[in-house]
Structure 1
Amino acid sequence: MAEWACRGGDPQKRLRRRGGKKEGKWRRGQTESNLRQTKGWMMMTKLREKPASAKRLRRAGLWLALLLLLPAFPAPTAFAATIDVVSFGANGSDSNDDAAAIQSAIDAASSGDTVYFPPGTYYLSANLQAKSGIKLIGQSRDASILKYTGSSGGAILSLNNTTNVEVAHLTIDANNSASPSAGIWGEPGGGHYIHHNRIKDLAKSDGFAPFGILMSASSNVVITDNEFSNIGVNSMWGGAIRVGWGSDAPVIERNTIADTGRGGIFVNDGVDGAIVRNNVITGSGHHSEGLGIELHTDVNHSLVEDNQVDHWLSVVRSEYNAIRRNTIHTTANTVKGIGLEIMSNHSVTSDNLVDGGQQVGMQQSPGTGYQLWNYNTIRNIVMWGMQLQGEGTGEIEQFQYFYKNTIEDGPIGHPAAAYPGYDGNAIRIHGNTRNIVFDGNIVRNNGRKAIEITGAAGTDRISFINNTITGNGGPSIDQYPSSAADLEWSNNTVSGNGTDTQLTSRGFADPKPTASFSAPLSVQLGQPVTFTNSSTDNGTIVENLWDFGEGVPVTTVSPTYTYEKAGTYRITLVVWDDTGRANIQERSILVYEGPPDTEAPTAPTNLASPSKSNVTVDLSWTASTDNVGVAGYDVYRGGTLIGSTTGANATTFTATGLTPSTSYSFTVKAKDAAGNESAASNTLNVTTDAGDTQPPTAPANLTNTAKTDTSVSLAWTASSDNVGVTGYDVYNGASIAGSTSGAGATTITLTGLSPNTSYTFTVKAKDAANNVSAASAPLTVTTNPAANWVHCAGENNPCNFTGTKEVRYGANGIYAYGTFTNTVMCSNHGFGGDPVPGYYKTCDVNLASEGGGGGDTQAPTAPTGLTSTGKTSSSASLSWTASTDNVGVTGYDVYNGGSLAGSTGGATSITIGGLSANTAYTFTVKAKDAANNVSAASSAVTVTTDPSGGGGEPSETGTIVREYWTGISGPTVASIPLGTAPTGTSVLTSFEAPSNWGDHYGTRIRGYIVPTVTGTYQFAIAGDNNTQLWLSTDDSPANKSKIGEVVDWTNEREWNRTSSQQSGSIALTANQRYYVEILHKEESGGDHLAVGWKVPGSSSFSVIDGANLAPY
Structure 2
Amino acid sequence: MVLACNGGGADRQAENEVADAGRRINVKDYGALGDGKTDDSRFIQAALDSASVGDTVYLPKGTYLVRTIRLVPNVHLVSDGLLKQPKELSAHFAIEKQHSDAPLFRAHRISNVYLSFRAETANEAIYASQCSNITIADSHLTGDSLNNRSFPAVLWYSCTASRVTGSTITRYGSARESPKTYHPGTAVRVLSGQGITISGNRIHHNGENGIFIHDSGDVEIDGNSIHHNGMSGIQIAFNTAERVTNYRITNNRLEHNAADALDINNRAHGRVVAIHALVAGNYSNGNGFVKGESTPDGSGIGTLIGISGVTLSGNRAFGNNRPALYIEGCGEITANRNVTDGAFELVGQWERIRMEGNSFQTLRLLANANGQLLDIRHSRIGSIMLPNAIRIDSLDLIENEINSGPVNVNMEGHLKFEGNRLRSGHEAGALLLVKTKSASLLGNHILNAKNAAITVRKTALNVRIDSNFVTSGGTWIHDFQPPNIKINNNRVQEHAKMDGQQ
Q: Hey, what's the Cα distance between the residues in 2 that align with 1:706 and 1:304?
A: 46
* Aligned twin of 1:501: 430
Structure number having the greater strand percentage: 2
**Aligned residue in 2 for 1:299:** 244
- The residue number in structure 1 matching 2:136 is 194
Shift of 1:746: 6.9
**Aligned equivalent of 2:15:** 43
* Pair 100,204 (structure 1): closer, same or farther in 2 beyond 3 Å: farther
User: Are the counterparts in 2 of residues 325 and 352 from structure 1 also a CA contact under 8 Å?
Assistant: yes
AA partner of residue 185 (structure 2): G
In the superposition, relative to structure 1, how do residues 123 and 457 fare at CA in structure 2: closer, same or farther (>3 Å)?
same
- Residue matched to 1:120: 62
Change (3 A) 1:750 1:303: farther
For residues 894-936 of structure 1, the C-alpha deviation after alignment (integer angstroms, 9 at most, x for no partner) is xxxxxxxxxxxxxxxxxxxxxxxxxxxxxxxxxxxxxxxxxxx
1:173 to 120, 124, 130: 120
| 1:146 paired residue number | 83
Q: For residue 334 of structure 2, what is the aligned residue in structure 1?
A: 372
CA contact (8 A) 2:336 2:355 kept: yes
Label 1:85 to 1:437 Cα distance change in 2 as closer, same or farther (>3 A).
same
Specify the alignment match of 1:314 in structure 2.
263
Provide the residue aligned with 1:406 in structure 2.
359
Partner of 1:478: 408
Q: In structure 1, how many angstroms separate the alpha carbons of the residues matched to 2:455 and 2:466?
A: 17
What is the DSSP-based 3-state SS (H/G/I as helix, E as strand, rest coil) of the residue aligned with 2:89? coil
How far the C-alpha of 1:130 sits from its partner, in A, is 0.7
Q: Which whole-Å CA distance do the structure 2 matches of 1:301 and 1:47 have between them?
A: 29
CA distance in 1, matches of 2:34, 2:74: 25
CA contact (8 A) 2:128 2:159 kept: yes
RMSD of aligned alpha carbons: 3.7
1:513-662 maps to which residues of 2 (within 5 A)? none
Q: Which of residues 334, 344, 353 in structure 2 aligns to 1:386?
A: 344
Indicate whether 1:349 and 2:302 are aligned.
no
Amino acid at match of 1:397: W
Matches within 5 A, 1:410-429: 425-429=362-366
Kept after mapping to 2: 8 A contact 1:451/1:477: yes
Q: 1:433 aligns with which of 370, 373, 377?
A: 370
Q: 2:211 corresponds to which residue?
A: 265
Question: Structure 1's 86 and 759: CA in aligned 2 closer, same or farther, altered over 3 A?
Answer: same
- How far apart are 1:306 and its partner, in Å? 0.2
For the 8 Å contact 2:198–2:220, the answer to whether it is kept is: yes
Aligned residue type for 1:388:
L
Partners of 2:22 and 2:246 lie apart in 1 by: 37
- Name the count of aligned residue pairs: 439
Q: Relative to 1, partners in 2 of residues 1:407 and 1:36: Cα closer, same or farther, differing over 3 Å?
A: closer
Residue from 732, 745, 748 that aligns with 2:476? 748
- Following superposition of structure 1 onto structure 2, how do residues 768-807 of structure 1 map, counting pairs within 5 Å? none
Structure 2: which amino acid aligns with 1:223?
Answer: V
Give the direction of change, closer, same or farther, for the CA distance of 1:89–1:314 in structure 2 (3 Å limit): same
Contact conserved, 1:282 with 1:309, CA < 8 A, in 2?
Answer: yes
Q: What is the identity, as a one-letter code, of the residue corresponding to 2:112?
A: N
| C-alpha spacing 1:355/1:91, structure 2 compared with 1 (3 Å) | same
User: CA separation in 1, counterparts of 2:347 and 2:491?
Assistant: 43
CA drift of 1:273 comes to 1.6
- Residues 1:765 and 1:146: Cα distance change in structure 2 (over 3 Å): closer
CA contact (8 A) 1:136 1:166 kept: yes
In the alignment, is the contact (CA less than 8 A) between 1:282 and 1:330 conserved in 2?
no
CA distance 1:132–1:46, shift in 2 (3 Å): closer
For 1:157, the equivalent position in structure 2 comes to 105
The superposition leaves residues 72-118 of structure 1 with CA deviations (integer Å, 9 ceiling, x where unpaired) of xxxxxxx8322111122211234222222222222222221111010
Kept in 2: contact 1:329–1:357 (CA 8 A): yes
Distance (whole Å) between structure 2 residues aligned to residue 80 and residue 267 of structure 1: 34
In structure 2, give the amino acid aligned to 1:378.
Answer: T
Give the Cα–Cα distance (whole angstroms) in 2 for the partners of residues 398 and 327 of structure 1. 27
Q: 1:31 to 1:184 in 2, by over 3 A?
A: closer
Structure with max Cα Rg: 1
Q: Distance in 2 between matches of 1:196 and 1:33?
A: 16
**Equivalent pair of 2:223/2:252 in contact (CA under 8 Å):** yes
List runs of 5+ in structure 1 lacking aligned partners.
1-27, 49-78, 391-395, 409-424, 445-449, 511-704, 713-731, 768-1112
Instruction: Give the distance between the partners of 2:200 and 2:414, measured in 1 at CA.
Output: 47
Cα distance between partner residues in 1 of 2:38 and 2:477: 83
- In structure 2, the gaps of 5 or more residues are 91-99, 176-181, 267-273, 441-450, 493-502
Distance 1:145 1:456 in 2: 63
Give the match for residue 184 of structure 2. 237
In 2: Cα distance, 1:107 partner to 1:113 partner: 11
Name the TM-score, length of structure 1 as normaliser.
Answer: 0.36
Partner of 2:54, secondary structure, is: coil
CA drift of 1:215 comes to 0.4
Give the alignment partner of residue 135 of structure 1, picking from 72, 76, 84: 76
Letter aligned with residue 486 of structure 1:
H
8 Å CA contact 2:463, 2:484 repeated in 1: no
Do the aligned partners of residues 761 and 362 (structure 1) sit closer, same or farther apart at CA in structure 2, a change above 3 Å counting? closer
- Counterpart in 2 of 1:284? 229
TM-superposed CA distance for 1:439, in Å, is 1.8
1:439-478 to structure 2, matched below 5 A, reads 439-444=377-382, 450-455=383-388, 457-470=390-403, 472=404, 475-478=405-408
The one-letter amino acid paired with 2:25 is: I
Aligned to 1:739: 468
- Share of identical aligned residues, percent? 18
Indicate the structure whose relative CO is greater, using CA pairs within 8 Å and at least 6 residues apart.
2
Taking a change above 3 Å as real, the CA distance of residues 240 and 40 of structure 1, as seen in their structure-2 partners, is closer
3-state SS of 2:210 partner: strand
CA distance in 1, matches of 2:9, 2:64: 32
Go from structure 1 to structure 2 and tell me whether the alpha carbon gap of 1:109 and 1:375 turns closer, same or farther (over 3 Å shift): same
Per the alignment, in what secondary structure is the counterpart of residue 312 of structure 2? strand
Counterpart residue number, 1:210: 151
Alignment of structure 1 residues 874-893 onto 2, 5 Å: none
Corresponding residue number in structure 1 for 2:350? 397
Contact residue 194 and residue 223 of structure 1 kept, 8 A = yes
- Quote the Cα distance in structure 2 between the aligned partners of 1:171 and 1:374: 41
Q: In the TM superposition, what is the alpha-carbon distance from 1:460 to its structure 2 partner?
A: 4.6
**Letter of the 1:507 counterpart:** K
1:274 is displaced (CA, Å) by 1.0
Contact preservation (8 Å) 1:159, 1:165: no
What is the distance in 1 between the residues matched to 2:71 and 2:453?
Answer: 78
- Contact 1:733–1:762 (8 Å) recurs in 2: no
SS of residue matched to 2:195: coil
Give the secondary structure class of the aligned counterpart of 2:108. coil
Q: Find the residue that maps to 1:95 and give its secondary structure.
A: strand
